[in-house]
Amino acid sequence: MHNFSLLHDDIMDGDTERRHRPTAWTVYGVGAAILAGDALLMLAQDLLLEGPAPQGLWASRCLSAAVQRLIAGQGADLAFERRDDVTLDECTQMAGDKTAALMACACSIGAIYVGAPATLAMGLAGFGAHVGLAFQLTDDLLGIWGAPEVTGKPVMSDLRARKKSLPVVAALTSGTEPGRELAALLATPRALTEDELARGARLVAAAGGRAWAEAEADAALALAGTCLAEAGMPEDVRAEFAHIAEFITARQW
């Protein structure tokens, strides 16, 4: 399911590269990439419904609920591009829909499919939701301060595209002087220069956007750990999940 959304996501964002590899639409064309995304989504649903009843059906509905939230989040993300009054609450809600719902589903759908106890499935879903939010916050931080050789994207790519990412919205809504300067900078009616981008990044930090996002990511990661601890799983399995969470939220500047 991640692949389905990525295929469509890359087209919407016009991304030509992901994880250092050319995106599908640049290689096979937009039409084929849309179709491949549709096909993966339908195949995933069909595969789940082929499974044992009633768990296959539960897993299928878990997936479709997650995809519906993913779509709502992606739609909000697109709409935000044309708005300059996005609140931090709206932005966090969007990240919860776009990323956290998908991760919650990915982490719990296996347990649901095999009919694991509700405590375990719910614990894994909670873990995934919190890790998803921590991941989005980290990804947004890397979108400004990440090294291109790590992110596979140009330096300060999110600022360049004037994305309403979480640290940026936190800065813009901070009510601080650097926040107001950032708003003025992002309203410049032409492409920003490298110097202006560097100043933008400094303003996000000065307005508290960077520290806020880092603290939120840490808090989300801690909550993820709590969910995991309460899910009732063997210690070695728990350690593996915890390792994955740390890996995907590691900040490599």
Find the part of the chain contacting a second copy (CB under 8 A) among 30-38, 108-116, 122-130, 226-234: 30-38
User: To which residue do tokens 């708003």 refer?
Assistant: 183
Helix, strand, coil percent content, the chain, rounded in steps of 5: 75, 0, 25
- Give me the helix-helix angle, 55-80 and 2-13, nearest 10°: 10
Q: How many CB atoms lie within 10 A of CB 83?
A: 10
Query: How many CB atoms neighbour CB 49 within 10 A?
Result: 13
- State the binding string over 135-174 for a second copy (x if CB under 8 A, else -): ----------------------------------------
Among 6, 23, 24, 67, binds a second copy (CB under 8 A): 67
Segment interacting with a second copy (CB under 8 A) among 57-65, 148-156, 184-192, 230-238: 57-65
**Least spacing, CB of residue 91 vs a second copy, in Å:** 18
Q: What number of residues does the chain have? A: 253
Q: Which is nearer to a second copy, 6 or 203 (CB)?
A: 6
Look-up of token digits 């947004």: 140
CB of 11 to a second copy, least distance (A): 7
Q: Is 74 in the site for a second copy (CB under 8 A)?
A: yes
| Choices 43-51, 93-101, 148-156, 243-251; region in contact with a second copy by CB under 8 A | 43-51
| DSSP-assigned letter for residue 98 | I
Query: CB of residue 131 vs a second copy: minimum separation in angstroms?
Result: 23
Q: How far apart are CA 178 and CA 200, in angstroms?
A: 9
